[in-house]
């Protein structure tokens, strides 16, 4: 039954997922090309100086890509479920409702996680070609909350879409935007903050259940 559910989710998501993967790969390619470009035009030691001593951010193309991907996947996965009360269809399936919703979101999560891990590896390889491990670690450290924003953005968007009451959706949006925005303002996070962001991002997976609960309560 899980595999059937995954099948349905995959049918909905696949094109958007391919599209966002392609976009991400283009972005990484662009960064890799930039690395060569800057090395040529700033000279290698000039480029190193800019990056190491001045913090030149040659990787900003990656900044909003994960969160955009998360939102797109969430929309593509759940919008078809919720228009014209279609959620009733899914909730009628003979599976516990919470389990159903979590299975659906866990699939989206796994796809996103796989994509982000792949991108991390690609960044590692691309940057590692031009810079020592210290710089790679520095950039990946900055990239990490951006990728996490993709996960949180995905879960939070699913919760907003599944929420049946428009007024509640509108209320949720500023808080969700504010929360996700925080992932982009930080650099050099303490271990506690990192841990909190990871755990909380995963916990946002439960918010879709709350929206589902509202759907069942049938507030009109």
Q: Rounded to an integer, what distance in angstroms lies between the CA atom of residue 51 and that of residue 39?
A: 11
The CB-of-63 to another protein minimum distance in angstroms stands at 16
Closer CB to another protein, 25 or 56, in the complex: 56
Residues 147-176 that bind another protein (CB under 8 A): 171, 175-176
The CB-of-213 to another protein minimum distance in angstroms stands at 5
Q: Can residue 125 be called a binding residue for another protein (CB under 8 A)?
A: no
Q: Can residue 52 be called a binding residue for another protein (CB under 8 A)?
A: yes
Binding segment for another protein (CB under 8 A), chosen from 18-26, 60-68, 104-112, 208-216, is 208-216
Closest by CA to 77, choosing from 154, 188, 163, 183, is: 154
Residues 69-108 that bind another protein (CB under 8 A): 80, 84-86, 88-89, 91-96, 98
Q: Are 158 and 74 in contact (CB under 8 A)?
A: yes
Q: Rounded to an integer, what distance in angstroms lies between the CA atom of residue 123 and that of residue 47?
A: 17
Closest by CA to 147, choosing from 112, 182, 178, 111, is: 112
Residues 181-200 that bind another protein (CB under 8 A): 182, 185-190, 192-193, 196, 200
The end-to-end CA distance of the chain, in Å, is 32
The CB-of-199 to another protein minimum distance in angstroms stands at 10
Tokens of 133: 């491990």
E strand or H helix at 167: helix 166-185
Tokens of 101: 């919703």
E strand or H helix at 87: helix 87-92
Closer CB to another protein, 26 or 170, in the complex: 170
Closest by CA to 163, choosing from 216, 111, 122, is: 216
List of residues contacting another protein (CB under 8 A): 1, 3-4, 7-8, 11-12, 39, 44-49, 52-53, 80, 84-86, 88-89, 91-96, 98, 129-132, 134-135, 138, 171, 175-176, 178-179, 182, 185-190, 192-193, 196, 200, 203-204, 206-210, 213, 215-218, 220
């Amino acid at each position: 039954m899980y595999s059937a559910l995954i099948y349905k989710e995959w049918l909905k998501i696949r094109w958007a997922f391919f599209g966002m993967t392609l976009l991400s790969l283009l972005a990484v390619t662009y960064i890799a090309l930039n690395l060569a470009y800057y090395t040529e035009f700033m000279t290698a030691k000039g480029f190193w100086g800019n990056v190491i001593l001045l913090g030149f951010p040659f990787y900003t193309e990656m900044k909003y890509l994960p969160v955009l991907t998360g939102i797109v996947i969430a929309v593509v996965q759940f919008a078809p479920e919720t228009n014209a009360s279609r959620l009733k269809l899914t909730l009628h399936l003979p599976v516990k409702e919470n389990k159903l919703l979590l299975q659906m979101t866990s699939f989206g999560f796994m796809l996103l996680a796989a994509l982000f891990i792949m991108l991390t590896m690609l960044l590692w390889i691309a940057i590692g070609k031009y810079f020592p491990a210290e710089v790679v670690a520095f950039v990946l450290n900055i990239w990490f909350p951006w990728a996490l924003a993709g996960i949180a953005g995905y879960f939070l968007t699913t919760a907003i879409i599944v929420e049946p009451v428009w007024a509640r959706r509108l209320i949720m949006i500023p808080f969700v935007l504010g929360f996700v925005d925080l992932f982009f303002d930080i650099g050099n996070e303490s271990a506690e903050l990192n841990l909190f962001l990871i755990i909380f991002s995963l916990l946002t997976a439960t918010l879709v259940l709350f929206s589902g609960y509202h759907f069942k309560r049938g507030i009109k």
